Amino acid sequence: MERKRYVMQPFRFNAAIQHPVLLVWDIVGPWRTDRNNDFTGKAHIGAADEMSLPALRQEAHTRREQDLMRSSKKPIMRIFLVAGARPNFMKIAPLYRTAQDFPEITCNIVHTGQHYDKAMSQTFFDDFGLPRPDYFLKSGSGSHAVQTAKIMTAFEAICTENRPDWVMVVGDVNSTLACSIVAKKLHIQVAHVEAGLRSFDLSMPEEINRTVTDAISDLFFVTEKNGLDNLLREGKPADRIHLVGNVMIDNLLHQFRKLEDQVSQTFSSSRLKQKLGSYAFLTLHRSSNVDDETRFREIAAALNTISDEIPIIFPIHPRTRKMQKMFGISFSSRIHLLPPLGFQEALFLWKDARVVLTDSGGLQEETTALKKPCITIRDNTERPITLDQGSNILAGTSRNGILNAFHTVMTDSQKNFGIPPLWDGRAAERIWQVVVNTASV
């Protein structure tokens, strides 16, 4: 920002000379910055024509005290919180909300636009009570390379113009990778929330994103001990790794409390839920599952068989709907297809389901936190604690594997599931405390 120039008029010069403290303050003032790094100094020399000498001295003394107080405060850290896809919004929501309790921090939300459909993006801002993003990059769709390049180009521009102290990325989507690379090349510190998770399957785009992001991050916020062990094995500095809990669970518990106070009849699916009574809840969107016709057909065959025993509620992802039509795959009439749902309505349905079937990483964690039986339709998971301590079963993607997992759940429903340490709804608070402490060192 260009510095303002203040020109003293001749008839004011004598007053300024008589009160040099004011003159010095007014020369220095325009370069002082406020918490948002905006220039806020203003010249007050003209006031000398209208004020008495005692009043001028008192004003100069007051200003000097105020400047000393400002200089003694801890500097405000500007953080860019990056979100681009559906899972990111539920992770940044508790971070943004909790940041309001830390006066040392100011957060700007950067929405990359990776999910550009209102049903898959704006709905979640509304659900989580997030404000309008400070920056919207409008990256839209495209191949991994095209989308990542769009995000990087747009993010570089806002980082160059409005340089933050930290860029905080969450999860493992393309936005996570793109923004961490840009920040690191601009010598801006990077904090990765959900660091250290590994599926050890490099055919998954998410595995590449999370591994590369961790390779260049400065702070690592870990949800479970497996993540901590992975980072240490990869040679990350131990003092930069922090086991803080899970912001996904922060959001889940916050939304669960809100849901308890809400009238369930406000949801369009409430009548279906009441009619079915006992049901399963399904999500399916991962490209490795729905873009491969053979695999998609195998999964659909298992789901149709399961629906003979229990009806399934399936809010279908736009990508899954597209591939279903392309491959001509049919679902049983007992699989109830719904449009994409907001977070609270989805929670309203799955919290009371007999079993959850999913290929989502986040839902594995959320079902574990509420001790809800979950069948993961994948060959691997980067969240092994949901298998070791939680309510999750890894079924694979074959028809027989999915059916075997389903029958295990249905015959072993009384198992006593555990909840991982620190999944208590306070992860965001711990994260900001670490950031503040790191900055003060």
DSSP secondary-structure letter at 351? T
User: Which residue type is seen at 253?
Assistant: L
| Residues with Cβ within 8 Å of residue 270, at least 6 apart in sequence | 264, 348
**Selection from 147, 237, 167 nearest residue 196 by Cα:** 237
CA distances from residue 80 to 39, 230, 355 in whole angstroms, order as listed: 20, 26, 38
Positive or negative torsion for Cα 363, 366, 368, 370? negative
Q: What is the side-by-side order of every strand in the sheet holding 355-358?
A: 335-338, 312-315, 280-282, 355-358, 374-376, 392-394
**Selection from 342, 357, 341 nearest residue 279 by Cα:** 357
User: Which residue type is seen at 259?
Assistant: L
Name residue 135's beta-bridge partners.
110
CA 92/CA 37 separation, integer angstroms: 23
CA 139/CA 154 separation, integer angstroms: 8
Q: Do the strands 312-315 and 219-222 form a parallel or antiparallel pair, or are they unpaired?
A: unpaired
| Residues with Cβ within 8 Å of residue 233, at least 6 apart in sequence | none
Count the neighbouring beta carbons within 10 Å of the beta carbon of residue 13.
13
- Establish whether 285 is a catalytic residue: yes
Contact indicator for 118, 140 with CB cutoff of 8 Å: no
H helices then E strands: how many in the chain?
A: 19, 13
48: left (phi over 0), alpha (psi -120 to 50) or beta: alpha
Contact indicator for 268, 349 with CB cutoff of 8 Å: no
CA 33/CA 286 separation, integer angstroms: 46
Q: What is the side-by-side order of every strand in the sheet holding 219-222?
A: 135-136, 105-111, 77-83, 166-170, 189-193, 219-222, 241-243
Q: Which of 115, 242, 285, 336 is catalytic?
A: 285
Question: What does the buried/exposed string (b/e) look like for 138-151 if buried means 16 or more CB atoms within 10 Å of the residue's CB?
Answer: ebeeeeeeebbebb
So which residues are the catalytic ones? Answer: 285
